[in-house]
Amino acid sequence: MADKAIMYDATKCTACRGCQVACKQWNENDEQGLEQTTNRGSYENPPDLSPRTWLRITFHEVEVNGKVKWLFNRQACMHCTDAACVRVCPNGTLYHNEYGTVSYNKDTCTGCGYCVEACPFHIPRLDGNKISGLAKMAKCAFCTQPGLDRISQGWEPACVKTCPPKALVYGNRDQLVLLAKQRVSELKSKGVPNANLYGEKELNGLHVMYILEESPELYGLPLDPQIPPVTIAWKGILQPIGWILGGLTLAGLALNYIVAREAKINRDLPGRKEK
């Protein structure tokens, strides 16, 4: 099956935030506490992603060529091909599905928080206290959650379906890459020299790609996102060593139990006298 993706054209986005509402409604994410939409003296609402807010439109006021303008951005899971969260997840809760996007099984999540620390885009959020062991990770699942799966039905993701200016487009990733490049060329021909495509190659390809009119950094995006070295070390070196050491510890405890048990049996044999 061809990989699926979303293309976000920031030059068409009006920051209406209909996508935010659609995401919450479809995924049954009721607002609580600070997530509730209230006036905080900023156009951005809610103030951040959370376990119940998986998508947010951000506002960036920048000065370009002596003129001040707004740049809007879509903040949500990027569904990376080389996903740090998948790499670091200790038990396979996070995984790539048949569409190439990153899904997760909330029932098996241990709340370790490794995905939160590893993500170069700072997307996953924890619901609960990880110290207590009751926390669960949450993020955009590309509308593939069990019981709420739109993609398997042949539907668009909820955010794409509701976007009034068609700033969001859903389809096969390879086709969207071609469409995005055509759009970038069009923008440059219309006097937008810094237009660029973000996500074609970053982390071996994102499944949410961006058409931007300025540098990604002005939108709050890392220019060259990288998986933290500690993530690679954890999954490839430290975790296997931990399993080996854990296995040796258990083997040692089992051997100690066997030896102690044999010694007790020998002491309790009939006719055996203490020396």
Which pLDDT does position 275 carry in this prediction? 45
Instruction: Give the tens place of pLDDT for each residue, 92-132.
Output: 999 999 999 999 999 999 998 999 999 999 999 998 765 55
Of 80, 70, 74, 79, nearest to 53 by C-alpha is: 74
Q: Give yes or no for residue 234 having a pLDDT over 80.
A: no
- The helix/strand/coil state of 115 is helix
Asked if residues 139 and 77 have their Cβ atoms less than 8 Å apart, the reply is yes
Taking residues 62-81, what's their average pLDDT? 94
Instruction: Give the tens place of pLDDT for each residue, 123-170.
Output: 999 987 655 567 899 999 999 999 999 999 999 999 999 999 999 999
To the nearest whole number, what is the mean pLDDT of the chain? 87
Which pLDDT does position 254 carry in this prediction? 61
Which pLDDT does position 128 carry in this prediction? 77
Which pLDDT does position 46 carry in this prediction? 87
Instruction: Give the tens place of pLDDT for each residue, 237-253.
Output: 555 554 555 555 665 66
The residue that leads in pLDDT, 213 or 67, is: 213
**Per-residue H/E/C for 45-109:** CCCCCECCECCEEEEEEEEECCEEEEEEEEECCCCECCCHHHHHCCCCCEEECCCCCEEECHHHC
Q: Give yes or no for residue 264 having a pLDDT over 70.
A: no
Write down the number of H helices and E strands in the chain.
7, 10
Taking residues 42-46, what's their average pLDDT? 83
